[in-house]
Amino acid sequence: MKTAYEYIYTIYQEGSLTRAAEKLFITQPALSIALRKIEARIGMPLFERNRRPLQLTPAGELYLKAIRKMHGLEKDLDREVQELKTLQTGTLTLGGSHYLLSYQIPDLLTAYVQKYPKIRLKLVEEASDTLLSLLEKEELDLTFSCDSAVIRKHAHHYPAFQDQILLAVPRSAQLPEGTAAHALTCQDIQAGRSRKAETPTVSITRFQELPFILLTPGNNLYKRCQALFQKAGFTPRIKLMLSQLATAQRLAEHGLAATFVSDAMVGPTSQDLLFFKIAEADFTRSFHALLPDKEFTPYSVRAFIQLLKP
C-alpha cells in the first residue's frame, strides 16, 4: 500500500491528481479522498487547487521538505548497508559545468575510475545555479563552487583547484593604444606567466569600445563580470550572451568579439587570441568541492575527496 508521503510527492511531481493517480495505479477519486484526509489531519491545504499545474501551499512546501529528508535518510541507509556488504563499491553522482567537466577534472575522473573500478560514476552537466539546487535536493553527491558565500553555507566543503580568468581579445581586433605591450600569448599562459605577480595588469576601461561575448545569468562568471563593469563605471557593448565558456572562447578565436576565459582552457588552438590580466579585480578563482548537508558521506564520495588532496 502506498504511503501518504508517496501520494503527496507524486501529486507534486505530476502537477495533476489525474496523472498522479495513473502513476500510483489508483483511481482519481480515491487519491482525492486520501489527499483530503492528509490535509484534514494537518489542518491546512497542501496544494492550491485553482492553479494548473497544482502548486504547493506554504504548508505543502514544508511537507515536501520533510518528504525529501525521509527519502534522503532511506537512500543513506541503503547505501550504508550496501557498503557493509561489498566494500569499495557504490555510485558517485557528480555535477559540474561544461567547463569543469571538460577542462578542470578529466584527469581526476580518469584517476578515480582507474583506482575504484567497482564504483559507478554518473556525471550531471548543468549551470552552477542549477547544480547547487540539485545538491540541496540531494540529487547530487558532489559539485563544485568558487563563490565564497556559497562555500561558507556548506558545512562539508573541500579545496579542489584554482583557475585564473583573463580577458581574451582577437588578434584581428584594433587594440587600444598602449595595451599591446601588456598582451600575453597562449604560450605565455601555458608557461604560467599570467599567474606571476610581476606580470603587468591593464584596466578594463581601456577596452570599453570593444564588443564583448559574455555569459548568461546562472554562471559564476556572469556575476563576476557584472561586478567588474559596475566597478569600472561603464556598460559593455555586448555582442552575444552565451551559456558556455568554451563556446565564447571559440567564437573569440574566430574574431567575433572579446571575451573572458579561464587559463585552464588556453592551449595551442588559442594562437589567434591575445590575453590581458585585468587590474580592477582579482580574477583568481578557488574552487571547492561541496557535499550535501547531511551526516552520512558514502564511501564513493570519501574516495573522491581523497584524490583532491595534494
DSSP characters for 234-281? ---EEEEEES-HHHHHHHHHTTS-EEEEEGGG--GGGTTEEEE-BSSS
CATH number for the region 82-161+291-307 comes to 3.40.190.10
Average pLDDT, the chain: 90
Average pLDDT of the segment spanning 252-264: 97
Evaluate whether 249 touches 156 at the Cβ level (below 8 Å).
no
How far apart are alpha carbons 104 and 252 in whole angstroms? 21
What are the boundaries of each domain within the chain?
A: 4-76, 82-161+291-307, 165-285
Q: For domain 165-285, which architecture applies?
A: 3-Layer(aba) Sandwich (3.40)
Task: Enter the pTM of the model.
Answer: 0.71
**Top-ranked range on mean pLDDT: pick from 63-67, 89-93, 271-275:** 271-275
Residue 109, helix vs strand vs coil:
helix
Phi-psi region of 293 (alpha: psi -120 to 50; beta: other; left: phi over 0): beta
What backbone phi and psi angles, to 5 degrees, belong to 196?
Answer: -80, 140
Reference 190, options 248, 275, 111; nearest CA is 275
Average pLDDT of the segment spanning 255-276: 95
pLDDT for residue 80? 67
Strand partners, 145: 288
DSSP characters for 14-74? HSSHHHHHHHHTS-HHHHHHHHHHHHHHHTS-SEETTSSS-EE-HHHHHHHHHHHHHHHHH
Average pLDDT of the segment spanning 137-165: 94
Of the pLDDT bands very low, low, confident and very high (cuts 50, 70, 90), residue 1 is: very low
pLDDT for residue 250? 95
C-alpha cell recorded at residue 301: 564520495
Residue 2, helix vs strand vs coil:
coil
Residue 96, helix vs strand vs coil:
strand
Q: For domain 4-76, which architecture applies?
A: Orthogonal Bundle (1.10)
- In order of 8, 99, 132, 181, the CA distances from 65 in angstroms are 11, 31, 16, 57
Residue corresponding to grid cell 578515480: 112
Question: Is the pLDDT at 181 greater than 70, yes or no?
Answer: yes
How far apart are alpha carbons 281 and 237 in whole angstroms? 19
How far apart are alpha carbons 217 and 219 in whole angstroms? 5
Sign of CA dihedral 274, 226, 200, 267: negative
pLDDT for residue 263? 96
Question: Is the pLDDT at 2 greater than 80, yes or no?
Answer: no
202-253 residue pLDDT tens = 999 999 999 999 999 988 899 899 999 999 999 999 999 999 999 999 999 9
83-102 residue pLDDT tens = 655 556 788 999 999 999 99
CATH topology agreement for domains 4-76 and 165-285: no
How far apart are alpha carbons 263 and 244 in whole angstroms? 15
